[in-house]
């Protein structure tokens, strides 16, 4: 059982970063394209490379990113079908991306580092790898198709450095090679910048949002997907494992629940800005999800693990 107030304190600080970004965005002119480019092409690849290179590759851990990648694909394809029924513009593509990803990097990882040991944090990183791999492959393609042809979308996808950073880190890991400790320790600095800038990007984006950018249908459907559908699916998987495979240990159960209840991915905004697919609508949906996460994450994590771990 995790203390509700302790978790509330941790997630509240992350929301403070959003508010700080909003204030700065109101006071100064912030170029969102520059921020999203920095996150997509510099910070994210470095964090993924270092996390992949240092992660402990056990069979159980390797299954975690695969599980979450498959879950993201399912939500993405279902979300696109639902979106086609609800919107006639490229908001349908934004919805498909929004409901199929999770803020493991900027939100889940800091929470994990506050409440879990090294193995638990490593599990969150592996979950993050599966979700991020989806974001920058199938998720990116689905979003790009909201404005571009198949060929153009694939060309844009090929320019995203995530796949190359992930491959390089995995190769180092599998060959038991390593960069000098002096370099790896310096790369750790980028994790803090990744979290701070990623959360502040939500605030930067909101500084330029008007009433016309508030899409209540998008907000309601993404909230329902994130805080109802995701937890239900993960809980169903955990129950199925306990009945048949008994493969998940207590820490893996907790990590899966944590990933299931983190807010919409802030990278949704970065991708929406990069591809010019309703970035203002994305900002409002992500903010709503993040604000609700202040209560929902401590509530879910204070209650659910007690029932599931003891089952």
Distance (Å, rounded) from C-alpha 55 to C-alpha 81?
36
Average pLDDT, integer, range 77-90: 94
pLDDT greater than 90 at residue 178:
no
Q: Identify the burial level of 248 via C-beta atoms within 10 angstroms of its C-beta, where 0-12 means exposed, 13-18 middle and 19 or more buried.
A: buried
Q: What is the pTM of this model?
A: 0.84
Give pLDDT tens digits for 255-293: 999 999 999 988 898 888 888 889 889 989 998 998 898
Give pLDDT tens digits for 97-150: 999 999 887 788 788 877 887 677 778 878 888 898 898 889 989 988 888 888
pLDDT greater than 50 at residue 311:
no
Range of the domain at 113: 4-309
Number of structural domains the chain divides into: 1
Q: How many CB atoms lie within 10 A of CB 181?
A: 8
| pLDDT band at residue 24 under the 50/70/90 scheme | very high
pLDDT greater than 90 at residue 165:
no
Instruction: For residue 188, give every residue at least 6 positions away whose Cβ sits within 8 Å of its Cβ, in sequence order, or none.
Output: 50
Average pLDDT, integer, range 61-78: 91
Specify the CATH number for the domain of residue 230: 1.20.1530.20
């Amino acid at each position: 059982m995790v203390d509700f107030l302790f978790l509330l304190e941790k997630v509240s600080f992350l929301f403070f970063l959003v508010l700080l970004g909003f204030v700065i965005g109101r006071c100064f002119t912030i170029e969102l394209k520059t921020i999203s480019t920095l996150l997509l092409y510099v910070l994210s690849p470095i964090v993924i490379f270092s996390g992949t290179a240092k992660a402990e590759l056990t069979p159980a851990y390797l299954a975690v990113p695969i599980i979450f990648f498959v879950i993201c694909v399912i939500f993405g394809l279902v979300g696109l079908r639902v979106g086609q029924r609800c919107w006639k513009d490229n908001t349908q593509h934004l919805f498909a991306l929004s409901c199929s990803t999770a803020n493991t990097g900027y939100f889940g990882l800091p929470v994990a580092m506050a409440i879990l040991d090294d193995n638990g944090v490593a599990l969150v990183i592996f979950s993050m790898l599966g979700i991020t791999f989806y974001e920058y492959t199938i998720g990116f393609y689905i979003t790009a198709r909201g404005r571009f042809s198949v060929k153009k979308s694939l060309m844009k996808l090929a320019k995203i450095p995530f796949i190359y950073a992930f491959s390089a880190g995995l190769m180092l890991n599998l060959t038991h090679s390593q960069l000098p400790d002096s370099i790896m320790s310096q790369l750790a600095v980028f994790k803090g910048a990744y979290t701070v800038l990623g959360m502040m990007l939500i605030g930067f984006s909101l500084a330029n949002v008007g009433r016309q950018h508030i899409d209540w249908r998008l907000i309601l459907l993404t909230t329902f997907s994130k805080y109802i559908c995701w937890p239900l699916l993960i809980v169903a998987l955990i129950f199925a494992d306990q009945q048949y495979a008994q493969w998940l240990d207590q820490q893996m159960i907790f990590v899966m629940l944590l990933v299931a209840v983190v807010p919409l991915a802030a990278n949704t905004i970065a991708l929406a800005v990069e591809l010019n697919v309703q970035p203002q609508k994305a900002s409002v949906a992500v903010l709503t999800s993040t604000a609700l996460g202040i209560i929902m994450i401590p509530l879910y994590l204070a209650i659910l693990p007690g029932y599931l771990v003891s089952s």
